[in-house]
């Protein structure tokens, strides 16, 4: 039964994404630790963290919308996972392509923003204001990249993009066809993942004036889960657009881990940017690169 | 009597009843029922919306200046009429209960309000039914003055804004009149068909003139750049549901007329032939760029507003850009997206205005710096606004996403990256702006003086909830609306979009049934995960972490003013009010000329004339 | 057809007899004027049906053309003869200090106006025109304020200047042709006046008669006079008398002067009139002055309409004139109580709702909002202009349209003031019942015309057709000279 298969896929895709995301979190922490000459956490630390957060005794809720916000955040990302093609599974990629994915990824953002707003803490609202500004900053070059890829491949269907690159070999990979756009994507990757050095709104040092100021227990746990999905999403999108996606997990997994690892290693070397500097930066170099890239691609 | 006769007759009766009985609550309900009847009459013609019916004529027609004036409905008119009557129905419902009584008790003329609203619907229907260029112009003027009436109702400041509107609108109308008389001089008839046949042979220079005149004229009503200044303030000052109605549909009439004249009669293919010298652009690109600037600039003006109604109204201007963009791109995806956006936008914009008016009804203000935390007091209004802003921002699962998706997709097909980026910048700005809207009103800390605020009355909540349902359902099953837009596409001669109930059936298509189902399931899993965790404890809103400070109960802290300081730090210097300056400059120029002319009449001394007469007489004698 | 003579003579005679009647009975003197005008109007209406077949001409005093005084009545002339008669009746001077004098003057105005409309030769036209001018001095100064005297003086100087020019023009024509009879001129014009001298004569006469028709350079008297004279007199001058002057120019244009340059002159002066009038009105701070300036603008539109060659031009001009005939007096009547600063009108709609509503209606029609008659009139003007496909006419059309948006702006500024919710301290005076009733009557006429658009247009078209047919004129006035082919 095709329908049943699809249902199974839809269940499996988020699950896999979660597991891989956990591994990515671990990897990222390890990279950070190595750069700072620390040992880093043990392998199961992310799982422990989540379990700890979900089972805490003090769980402060600031009202219904606070809870719904976190639910929207996690739920929206779970749904978005079904739009990302992975080896053997294409999920809903034919029913909603790259643009749909880009907009689906804003739902968790909005949910979280609403939840934080309900916390009635002005500092939380300030954090959301910064987060949304950052989103405005990196989404413009991001959408530019999506446009370029969709134009090159002649479709917005991510699975078809993978198929095209797989059929025609490495020379047809996005990174060969449109290196400038790939570079753009790489530049904004840390920002789309909400990571160093563009994460002033969620930075540990700024926790008191960030969205997380009123998040405790399972609310924080929800944010942790979201982080896993975000890392995974960033890796898969980049791989799909530029690195030929994957037919086999054995080739696919290294690609996505690499995609997440490279910018992370470099990014840790930079100090954090202020929100307006993020804007200025994102709208200057990645945009410029992206536009030149597009001009090259479209002749 | 044809079905169209019935519709126009019922609509005229609605105006009469509204003027006679609109002052009472019963009268309000009666008028609302009459709108429903208009809707029923429209449904009698629903064949138009599904391409099973071509045209529904009206049996009324007159001959003036040897021109046969006639009125009829086609798919395009039917689609716009559906939105018009729907907007009228819900606005009237909203106004018929407690809102109307409050309005009347505060010295407003409720009778005139209902009358003006009904008149707006009636004149719009007349415009939509126009069967040739002359009736189009007549309908156009009627609509302009009817909206002027409803805008001016509030008096005071609203007078100034309405005045500004009518100055713009009438100048626009004169441009249109000039254009259609030019067509008459070229073609010799006001007939649609003759223009359509003559357009391919017209000279490019003539076409440029026509396209400029019509775009400017119709553009004034749509408030496209550079004619965007009047709209937001005028709409925002219109009394309550009137603003919802105007916001939802009024300026769409400009789009309707634009589609009829430019797209249907002159034809997009002609626009493509009209190249702008020394550039790579043609007329279509020019229009698309106007649309893009209409998206971006008003949206970012909206971001700076701190009055909820102004904010929404400015977004209304911005959203017009998307519709125009889609229509001008004119491929199957784009035009379907543009047309669908008309419907989608009307549904959520009306609802958003209603939610804001409900808040004003209860708290007395729409100042975004004087509200906050109302979610706990007015949860249903909150839901309406939430659904509305998701729609306005164009995110799934609401209907606004589908139409915007179609437009984005059409831009990819068209290969226009810059237009695409412009459209996305607009959407992102909208997200920022609408979050500020909902945050400042409903989230954050509840003010002390609003502690006792209740949910809006049922007469206001029910229309909002119904509209929310429409927004969600048409987002879930966009095929419902795409059926109508396809009929419109077929009738105006554009490529028809292949679609199904869930969305679009092309490669890299869209199936909203799946997307929304998965999203809802995702939320379900999210809930499951959430409730797997430990029990949470609800705390008072003041019980939160303030970094060592104590938030006292007397002063409520709500982060509202200058919500995006980081962004404003960067782009703040771009807000230069250039267009306001331009407008002022124009007014000053007219004023100077006017002073000069008055001086001429005041000072052209008779003695000069005497001198002239003497000189003349002398020369006469000598010669 | 002595009846036609009666139309002219009756009012004139009564005007002179009025002081004698007054000695016998004040009441009789008061009612005599209106009654005579009613009778005159009745005569006019009784003659009207005959004219649709053929115009009537008659020689006053039994002399033959070219010696006698020729009267010529076609639908066109009679229409305006009736207009001045009925207009004077409706706008009968009231409440002035010297009722007797104003009554006589009004009767004189009606009589001379009728004479002007029906005259068939240039000399009579000039005489009646001068008479009418003198009468209007009296009417304007009748208010007795220092402002009205000052404006009368200015009017006097400009009129004198105009009269001199017109006389010079007539002299030129006479020198070239040896006759002043319009029918003969119509025959002789193609060979004798189709030259520079003819053109000069036309320009002189245009400027001369243009004084009353508010033609651009010689309309400097308009704002002051309308602002200081009583509104009824302003209404008469702007609404009716200006049309009579226009009628003469139309007659000259149709019958005598066929130079294309003549049309260009008209077009340019018309455009200048529209531009200067509407712009000046935009800044006016006083309702009467605003209406005065705007009437300069509208007369400009009529000149533009006249500049369109052929039947279409006359038809268009006729439509605009008739529209204005109804509209402007009505507006001036409303301004009677609303004179002075526009700022002071705030909230006036509350005291006089009918008047305010009527003002809105009139404004809408004036700026040409469909389906009101003003729109159709404007359509008739612009349509043939664009069909000519000449740059200057395009520009003229543009000016008319742009002027309309200026008009909309300043008129609705007034409307906004009327409906303003913050009333000023000074209470507003309600309109006099007679004023308001007259204005409403005229406004109702406008509304009614919307429903009779088609027959009305047909009728105006036939009037225009009759007026533009030169051969009908010649045949009616001087059938024998047609056969002989020459006059001298």
Q: List the structure tokens of B506.
A: 């092309």
Whole-Å CA distances, B468 to B194, B249, C459: 44, 17, 58
Residue scoring higher pLDDT (C5 or B230): B230
Lowest mean pLDDT among B56-65, B327-336, C286-295: B56-65
The answer to whether B130 and B170 have CB atoms below 8 angstroms apart is no
Of A84, A7, A28, the closest CA to residue A259 belongs to A28
Question: Which residue from B minimizes the CA distance to A293?
Answer: B417
Instruction: Give dist(CA C378, CA C366) in Å, integer.
Output: 9
The answer, for C167 touching chain B at a CB cutoff of 8 Å, is no
Whole-Å CA distances, B27 to A218, B114, B573, C102: 54, 9, 51, 54
**What are the tens digits of pLDDT across the range C410-465?**
999 999 988 887 766 666 777 788 888 888 998 998 888 888 888 888 888 888 88
* pLDDT given at position B392: 94
The answer, for B142 touching chain C at a CB cutoff of 8 Å, is yes
Secondary element (H or E) of residue C60: strand C56-60
Of C93, C94, C123, the closest CA to residue C108 belongs to C93
Instruction: Give dist(CA C44, CA A188) in Å, integer.
Output: 89
Cβ of B166 and C401 within 8 Å?
no
Instruction: Give dist(CA C262, CA C254) in Å, integer.
Output: 11
Helices (H), B97-228: 98-105, 110-128, 133-152, 157-187, 192-198, 204-222
* pLDDT given at position B609: 64
**What are the tens digits of pLDDT across the range C182-224?**
888 888 888 888 888 888 888 889 988 988 888 887 888 888 8
Strand, coil or helix: what is B538? strand
Residue scoring higher pLDDT (C117 or C65): C117
Instruction: Give dist(CA B314, CA B440) in Å, integer.
Output: 17
Total count of residues recorded for chain A: 299
User: What's the average model confidence in pLDDT over B496-523?
Assistant: 90
Establish whether the linkage from the previous residue to B397 is cis, with ω within 30° of 0.
yes
Q: What residues in C contact B601, CB-CB < 8 Å?
A: 219-220, 222-223, 276, 280, 293
Residue C340 has pLDDT above 70, yes or no: yes
Q: List the structure tokens of C35.
A: 């009654």
Listed by number, the residues of chain B in 373-392 with a beta carbon closer than 8 Å to a beta carbon of chain A are: 373, 375-376, 386, 390
Split at pLDDT 50, 70, 90, the class of B440 is: very high
Listed by number, the residues of chain B in 23-62 with a beta carbon closer than 8 Å to a beta carbon of chain C are: 62
Instruction: Give dist(CA A283, CA C243) in Å, integer.
Output: 67
User: What's the average model confidence in pLDDT over B69-83?
Assistant: 93
Listed by number, the residues of chain A in 117-146 with a beta carbon closer than 8 Å to a beta carbon of chain B are: 117-123, 125-126, 128-130, 132-133, 135-136, 139-140, 143-144
Q: What percent of chain B shows pLDDT beyond 70?
A: 96
Q: Rounded to the nearest 10 degrees, what angle do helices B98-105 and B110-128 cross at?
A: 120
Q: List the structure tokens of C257.
A: 């002067």
* pLDDT given at position B620: 64
Question: Which residue from B minimizes the CA distance to A281?
Answer: B570
Residue B537 has pLDDT above 90, yes or no: no
The answer to whether A93 and A150 have CB atoms below 8 angstroms apart is no
Hey, which bits of B216-369 come out as E strands?
Answer: none
Instruction: Give dist(CA B320, CA B310) in Å, integer.
Output: 16
Q: What residues in B contact A58, CB-CB < 8 Å?
A: 537
User: What's the average model confidence in pLDDT over B77-96?
Assistant: 95
Whole-Å CA distances, C480 to A133, C63, C232, C436, C483: 95, 14, 45, 52, 5
* pLDDT given at position C351: 82
* pLDDT given at position C63: 61
Q: What residues in C contact B135, CB-CB < 8 Å?
A: none
* pLDDT given at position C487: 41
Q: What residues in B contact C389, CB-CB < 8 Å?
A: 185
C with A: touching (≥3 Cβ pairs within 8 Å)? no
* pLDDT given at position C65: 57
CB pairs under 8 A between A and B: 254
User: What's the average model confidence in pLDDT over B312-338?
Assistant: 93
Hey, which bits of B434-577 come out as E strands?
Answer: 499-500, 503-504, 510-511, 537-538
User: What's the average model confidence in pLDDT over B503-517?
Assistant: 88
* pLDDT given at position C146: 82
The answer, for C408 touching chain B at a CB cutoff of 8 Å, is yes
* pLDDT given at position B221: 92
User: What's the average model confidence in pLDDT over B334-339?
Assistant: 94
Establish whether the linkage from the previous residue to A197 is cis, with ω within 30° of 0.
yes
* pLDDT given at position C302: 93
Of B153, B175, B152, B291, the closest CA to residue B223 belongs to B291
Residue C310 has pLDDT above 50, yes or no: yes
**What are the tens digits of pLDDT across the range B277-299?**
888 888 899 999 999 999 999 99
Q: What residues in B contact A92, CB-CB < 8 Å?
A: 511, 514-515, 518
The answer, for B432 touching chain A at a CB cutoff of 8 Å, is yes
Cβ of C402 and B64 within 8 Å?
no
Q: List the structure tokens of B24.
A: 């009472």
Residue A125 has pLDDT above 80, yes or no: yes
DSSP conformation letters of B181-196: HHHHHHHS--BHHHHH
Cβ of B163 and C412 within 8 Å?
yes
> How crowded is residue B149: how many other Cβ atoms within 10 Å of its Cβ?
19
* pLDDT given at position A209: 75
User: What's the average model confidence in pLDDT over A158-180?
Assistant: 89
Lowest mean pLDDT among A129-138, B526-535, C65-74: C65-74
Q: Kindly report the CA angle at C484 between C478 and C486, in degrees rounded to 5?
A: 85
Residue A203 has pLDDT above 90, yes or no: no
DSSP class of B263? I
* pLDDT given at position C20: 84
* pLDDT given at position C360: 93
Instruction: Give dist(CA A266, CA B93) in Å, integer.
Output: 60
Whole-Å CA distances, C136 to B72, C116, C212: 54, 14, 10
Q: What percent of chain C shows pLDDT beyond 70?
A: 94
Q: Nearest Cβ partner of A217 from B393, B522, B533?
A: B533
* pLDDT given at position B549: 67
Lowest mean pLDDT among B333-337, B602-606, C37-41: B602-606
Residue C7 has pLDDT above 90, yes or no: no
* pLDDT given at position B255: 95
The answer to whether B91 and B244 have CB atoms below 8 angstroms apart is yes
Helices (H), chain A: 2-35, 45-54, 64-81, 98-104, 106-118, 122-153, 158-168, 174-177, 179-192, 217-242, 249-267, 275-298
Strand, coil or helix: what is A112? helix
Q: What residues in B contact C383, CB-CB < 8 Å?
A: 65, 181, 184-185
The answer, for B569 touching chain A at a CB cutoff of 8 Å, is yes
**What are the tens digits of pLDDT across the range B141-167?**
999 999 999 999 988 889 999 999 999
**What are the tens digits of pLDDT across the range B347-382?**
999 999 999 999 999 999 999 999 988 999 999 999
Distance to chain A for B595, nearest Cα, Å: 48
**What are the tens digits of pLDDT across the range B25-54?**
899 999 999 999 999 999 999 999 998 888
All partners of chain A with 3 or more CB pairs under 8 angstroms: B
Residue C217 burial by CB count (10 A; 0-12/13-18/19+): exposed, middle or buried?
middle
**What are the tens digits of pLDDT across the range A207-252?**
777 888 888 888 999 999 999 999 999 999 999 999 988 888 999 9
Establish whether the linkage from the previous residue to C66 is cis, with ω within 30° of 0.
yes
* pLDDT given at position B34: 95
The string over C181-211, giving b where at least 16 C-beta atoms fall within 10 Å of a residue's C-beta and e elsewhere, is bbbbbbbbbeebbeeeebbebbbbbbbbbbb
Lowest mean pLDDT among A200-214, B106-120, C208-222, C318-332: A200-214
User: What's the average model confidence in pLDDT over C231-251?
Assistant: 88
Lowest mean pLDDT among A119-128, B273-282, C32-41: B273-282
Q: How confident is the prediction for chain B on average, in pLDDT?
A: 90
Split at pLDDT 50, 70, 90, the class of B585 is: very high
Q: List the structure tokens of C387.
A: 């069909």
Q: List the structure tokens of A266.
A: 């470099």
Q: List the structure tokens of A271.
A: 């100090």
CB pairs under 8 A between B and C: 130
Cβ of A75 and B401 within 8 Å?
no
Split at pLDDT 50, 70, 90, the class of C67 is: low
Q: How confident is the prediction for chain A on average, in pLDDT?
A: 89
DSSP class of C181? B
* pLDDT given at position A77: 94
Instruction: Give dist(CA B174, CA A265) in Å, integer.
Output: 64
Q: What percent of chain B shows pLDDT beyond 90?
A: 68
- Interface confidence (ipTM) of the complex: 0.94
Cβ of A75 and B417 within 8 Å?
no
Residue B606 has pLDDT above 70, yes or no: no
How far is Cα of residue C25 from the mean position of the Cα atoms in its chain? 34
Instruction: Give dist(CA B591, CA B587) in Å, integer.
Output: 6
Of B571, B562, B541, the closest CA to residue B440 belongs to B562
* pLDDT given at position A1: 54
Of A128, A92, A80, the closest CA to residue A230 belongs to A80
């Amino acid at each position: 039964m095709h329908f049943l298969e699809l249902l199974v896929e839809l269940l499996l895709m988020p699950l896999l994404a979660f597991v891989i995301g956990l591994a990515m979190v671990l990897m990222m922490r390890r990279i950070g630790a190595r750069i700072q000459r620390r040992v880093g956490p043990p392998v199961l630390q992310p799982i422990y963290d989540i379990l700890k957060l979900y089972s805490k005794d003090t769980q402060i809720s600031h009202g219904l919308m606070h809870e719904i916000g976190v639910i929207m955040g996690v739920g929206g990302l779970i749904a978005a996972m079904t739009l990302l093609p992975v080896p053997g599974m294409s999920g809903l990629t034919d029913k909603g392509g790259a643009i749909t994915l880009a907009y689906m990824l804003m739902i968790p953002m909005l949910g979280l923003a609403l939840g934080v707003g309900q916390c009635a803490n002005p500092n939380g609202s300030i954090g959301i204001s910064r987060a949304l500004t950052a989103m405005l900053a990196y989404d413009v070059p991001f959408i530019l990249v999506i446009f370029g890829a969709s134009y090159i491949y002649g479709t917005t269907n991510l699975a078809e993009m993978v198929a095209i690159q797989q059929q025609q070999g490495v020379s047809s990979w996005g990174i060969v066809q449109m290196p400038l756009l790939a570079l753009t994507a790489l530049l904004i990757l840390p920002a789309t993942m909400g990571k160093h050095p563009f994460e002033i709104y969620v930075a540990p040092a700024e926790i008191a004036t960030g969205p997380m100021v009123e998040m405790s227990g399972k609310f924080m746990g929800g944010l942790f889960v979201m982080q896993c999905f975000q890392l995974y999403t960033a890796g898969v999108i980049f791989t799909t657009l530029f690195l030929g996606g994957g037919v086999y997990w054995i080739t696919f997994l290294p690609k996505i881990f690499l995609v997440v690892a490279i910018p992370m290693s470099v990014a840790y070397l930079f100090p954090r940017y202020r929100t307006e500097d993020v804007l200025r930066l994102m709208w200057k170099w990645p945009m410029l690169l992206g536009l030149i890239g597009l001009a090259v691609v479209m002749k | 009597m044809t079905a169209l006769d019935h519709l126009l007759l019922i609509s005229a009766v609605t105006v009469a009843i509204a003027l006679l009985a609109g002052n009472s609550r019963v009268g309000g309900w009666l008028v609302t029922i009459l709108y429903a009847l208009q809707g029923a009459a429209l449904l009698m013609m629903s064949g138009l919306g599904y391409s099973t019916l071509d045209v529904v004529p009206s049996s009324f027609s007159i001959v003036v200046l040897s021109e046969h004036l006639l009125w009829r409905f086609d798919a395009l008119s039917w689609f716009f009429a559906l939105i018009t009557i729907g907007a009228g129905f819900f606005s009237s419902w909203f106004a018929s209960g407690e809102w109307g009584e409050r309005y009347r008790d505060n010295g407003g003329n409720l009778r005139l309000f209902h009358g003006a609203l009904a008149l707006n619907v009636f004149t719009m229907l007349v415009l939509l039914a126009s069967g040739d260029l002359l009736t189009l112009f007549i309908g156009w003027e009627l609509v302009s003055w009817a909206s002027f009436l409803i805008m001016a109702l509030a008096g005071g400041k609203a007078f100034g804004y309405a005045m500004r509107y009518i100055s713009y609108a009438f100048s626009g109308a004169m441009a249109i009149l000039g254009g259609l008389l030019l067509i008459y001089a070229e073609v010799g008839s006001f007939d649609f068909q003759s223009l359509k046949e003559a357009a391919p042979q017209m000279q490019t220079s003539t076409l440029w003139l026509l396209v400029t005149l019509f775009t400017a004229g119709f553009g004034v009503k749509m408030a496209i750049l550079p004619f965007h200044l009047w709209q937001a303030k005028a709409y925002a000052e219109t009394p309550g549901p009137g603003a919802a109605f105007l916001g939802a549909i009024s300026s769409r009439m400009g789009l309707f007329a634009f589609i009829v004249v430019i797209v249907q009669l002159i034809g997009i293919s002609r626009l493509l032939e009209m190249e702008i010298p020394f550039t790579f652009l043609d007329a279509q690109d020019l229009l698309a760029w106007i649309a893009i600037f209409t998206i971006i600039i008003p949206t970012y003006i909206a971001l700076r507003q701190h009055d909820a109604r102004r904010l929404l109204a400015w977004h209304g201007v911005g959203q017009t850009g998307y519709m125009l963009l889609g229509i001008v791109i004119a491929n199957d995806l784009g035009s379907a997206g543009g047309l669908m956006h008309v419907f989608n936008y009307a549904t959520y914009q009306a609802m958003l205005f209603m939610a804001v008016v409900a808040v004003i009804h209860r708290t007395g203000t729409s100042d975004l710096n004087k509200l906050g935390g109302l979610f706990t007091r007015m949860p249903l209004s909150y839901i309406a606004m939430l659904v509305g802003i998701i729609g306005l921002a164009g995110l799934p699962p609401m209907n606004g996403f589908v139409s915007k998706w179609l437009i984005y997709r059409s831009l990819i097909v068209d290969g226009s990256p810059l237009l695409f980026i412009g459209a996305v910048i607009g959407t992102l700005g909208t997200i920022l702006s609408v979050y500020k809207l909902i945050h400042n009103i409903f989230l954050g800390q509840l003010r002390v003086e609003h502690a006792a605020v209740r949910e809006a009355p049922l007469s206001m909540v029910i229309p909002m909830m119904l509209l929310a349902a429409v927004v969600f359902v048409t987002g879930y099953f966009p095929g419902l609306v795409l059926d109508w837009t396809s009929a419109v596409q077929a009738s105006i001669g554009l490529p028809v979009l292949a679609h199904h109930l869930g969305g679009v059936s092309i490669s890299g298509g869209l199936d909203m049934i799946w997307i929304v189902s998965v999203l809802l399931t995702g939320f379900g899993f999210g809930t499951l995960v959430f409730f797997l965790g430990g029990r949470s404890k609800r705390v008072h809103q003041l019980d939160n972490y303030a970094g060592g400070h104590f938030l006292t109960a007397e002063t409520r802290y709500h982060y509202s003013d200058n919500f995006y300081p980081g962004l404003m730090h960067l782009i703040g210097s771009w807000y230069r009010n250039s267009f306001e300056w331009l407008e002022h400059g124009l007014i000053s120029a007219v004023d100077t000329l006017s002073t000069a002319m008055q001086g001429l009449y005041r000072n052209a001394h008779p003695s000069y004339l005497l001198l002239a007469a003497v000189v003349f007489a002398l020369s006469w004698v000598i010669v | 057809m002595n009846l036609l003579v009666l139309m002219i003579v009756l009012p004139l005679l009564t005007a002179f007899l009025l002081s004698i009647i007054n000695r016998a009975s004040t009441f009789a003197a008061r009612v005599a004027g209106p009654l005579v005008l009613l009778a005159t109007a009745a005569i006019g209406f009784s003659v009207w049906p005959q004219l649709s077949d053929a115009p009537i001409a008659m020689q006053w005093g039994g002399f033959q053309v070219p010696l006698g005084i020729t009267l010529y009545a076609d639908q066109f002339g009679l229409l305006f003869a009736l207009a001045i008669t009925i207009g004077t009746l409706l706008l009968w001077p009231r409440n002035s200090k010297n009722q007797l004098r104003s009554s006589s003057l009004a009767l004189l105005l009606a009589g001379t106006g009728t004479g002007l409309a029906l005259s068939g030769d240039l000399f009579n036209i000039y005489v009646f025109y001068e008479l009418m001018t003198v009468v209007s001095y009296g009417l304007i100064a009748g208010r007795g304020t220092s402002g009205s005297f000052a404006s009368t003086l200015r009017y006097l100087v400009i009129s004198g200047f105009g009269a001199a020019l017109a006389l010079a023009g007539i002299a030129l024509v006479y020198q070239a042709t040896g006759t002043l009879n319009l029918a003969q001129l119509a025959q002789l014009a193609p060979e004798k006046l189709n030259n520079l001298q003819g053109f000069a004569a036309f320009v002189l006469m245009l400027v001369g008669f243009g004084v009353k028709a508010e033609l651009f350079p010689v309309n400097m008297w308009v704002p002051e006079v309308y602002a200081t004279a009583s509104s009824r007199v302003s209404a008469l001058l702007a609404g009716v008398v200006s049309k009579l002057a226009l009628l003469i120019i139309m007659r000259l244009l149709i019958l005598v002067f066929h130079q294309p340059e003549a049309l260009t002159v008209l077009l340019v002066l018309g455009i200048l009139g529209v531009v200067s009038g509407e712009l000046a009105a935009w800044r006016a701070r006083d309702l009467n002055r605003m209406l005065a300036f705007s009437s300069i603008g509208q007369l400009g539109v009529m000149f533009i309409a006249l500049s369109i060659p052929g039947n279409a031009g006359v038809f268009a001009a006729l439509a605009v004139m008739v529209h204005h005939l109804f509209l402007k007096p009505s507006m001036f009547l409303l301004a009677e109580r609303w004179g002075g600063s526009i700022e002071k009108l705030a909230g006036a709609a509350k005291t006089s709702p009918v008047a305010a509503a009527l003002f809105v209606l009139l404004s809408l029609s004036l700026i040409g909002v469909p389906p009101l008659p003003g729109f159709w009139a404007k359509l008739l003007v612009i349509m043939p202009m664009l069909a000519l496909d000449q740059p200057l006419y395009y520009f003229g059309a543009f000016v008319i349209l742009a002027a309309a948006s200026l008009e909309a702006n300043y008129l609705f500024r007034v409307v906004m003031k009327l409906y303003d919710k913050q009333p000023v301290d000074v209470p507003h005076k309600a309109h006099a019942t007679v004023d308001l009733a007259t204005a409403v009557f005229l406004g109702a006429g406008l509304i009614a015309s919307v429903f009779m658009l088609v027959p009305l247009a047909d009728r105006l078209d036939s009037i225009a057709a009759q007026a533009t047919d030169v051969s009908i004129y010649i045949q009616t006035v001087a059938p024998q000279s047609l056969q002989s082919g020459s006059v001298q």
